[in-house]
Amino acid sequence: MNQPPTSGRPDCPRCRGAGIEVKVSGGEFARAEVCGCVPVCPVCDGTGRVDLLQDGHPAVARCRCRILFDRAALFERAQIPARHAKSTLESFDHRTIEGAGKGFTKVWAWLEQFKPGSENRGLVLWGKVGRGKTHLLAALLRELVFRHGVEARFIEFSRLLLLLKEGYEKGVSDAPVLAEISETPVLAIDELGKGRLTEWELRVIDDVVSRRYNAMTCTLFTTNYTPAIATGSLPTNLATGIELAQSLGDRVGDRVYSRLREMGTFVEMGGPDYRELRS
């Protein structure tokens, strides 16, 4: 009996069986489309429509083959940076790089336990620069979209601030942007704690985290700062080059830090700097 195709060929080098090919097309974000290895649906002949009888009357239903097109569209709406179009769990080299395996194992376990439509605890990936945190963040969203059809959104914290500032300059309220960020079922915020952290920036952090916390929605974060309450340390002095060990509490405030601990599991990403290994 013919069945709608919902995956690609396992030996396909472009999609590796997912049925969706992720591409870099010169834009800011990664693109996705149904892979050429997926055959024309034998049920709907590629129209996406299936004729049937409902209570004895002719009706039209959406063919199950459209799940691939839906998930490709969901992936694009997630706005994963083009740089991370090819960032997958498989391409994260956790086996040969010393110190990378422990964090990766915890991230994998989190993904395996994720239940769509349920209340899922989030993650906070932390560690020094170049440990693959953003790579894993993008890979997790890719898996959630392709495996489960989860609606997700990736945003770097500094980009969020830029979007809000652009709105202010145009006289547009920040409500629509914050509403979108707050209501997305799975939100991934990259580089939490980055920036000057002015009073306004801290208010934005508090607003976003509080909204997600109160709504009990799943939120993923990356940060370069050690998870601990505020120590009172000052930021790095750019004039002298003296680097002070600020904690995440120093960067976002103890109230936000406390909520982060309730919202997600902290996972340390160790190992060497990946960028130096590739240079």
- What CATH number is attached to the domain comprising 259? 3.40.50.300
Span 124-156, pLDDT tens digits = 999 998 889 999 999 999 999 999 999 999 999
In a shared domain, residues 118 and 252? yes
In a shared domain, residues 129 and 198? yes
Q: Which residues of 23-59 are buried (b: 16+ CB within 10 A; e: fewer)?
A: eeeeeebbbbbbbebbeebebbeeebebeeeeeeeee
Question: Looking at residue 239, what is its pLDDT?
Answer: 45
- The range of the structural domain enclosing residue 59 comes to 1-77
**In 30-132, alpha helices (H):** 67-77, 101-113
Give residue 97's pLDDT band: very low, low, confident or very high (50, 70, 90).
low
Element of type H or E holding 168 = helix 157-169
Number of domains in the chain: 2
Span 161-215, pLDDT tens digits = 999 999 888 888 888 888 888 899 999 999 999 988 899 999 999 999 999 999 9
Decide which of 39, 55, 77 is a domain's last residue: 77
In a shared domain, residues 49 and 106? no
- The CA distance from 171 to 262, in Å, is 36
Yes or no: say if 269 and 136 are a contact pair by the CB < 8 Å rule.
Answer: yes
- Please check the confidence at residue 1 and state whether its pLDDT lies above 60: no
Span 30-42, pLDDT tens digits = 999 999 999 999 9
Yes or no: say if 248 and 257 are a contact pair by the CB < 8 Å rule.
Answer: yes
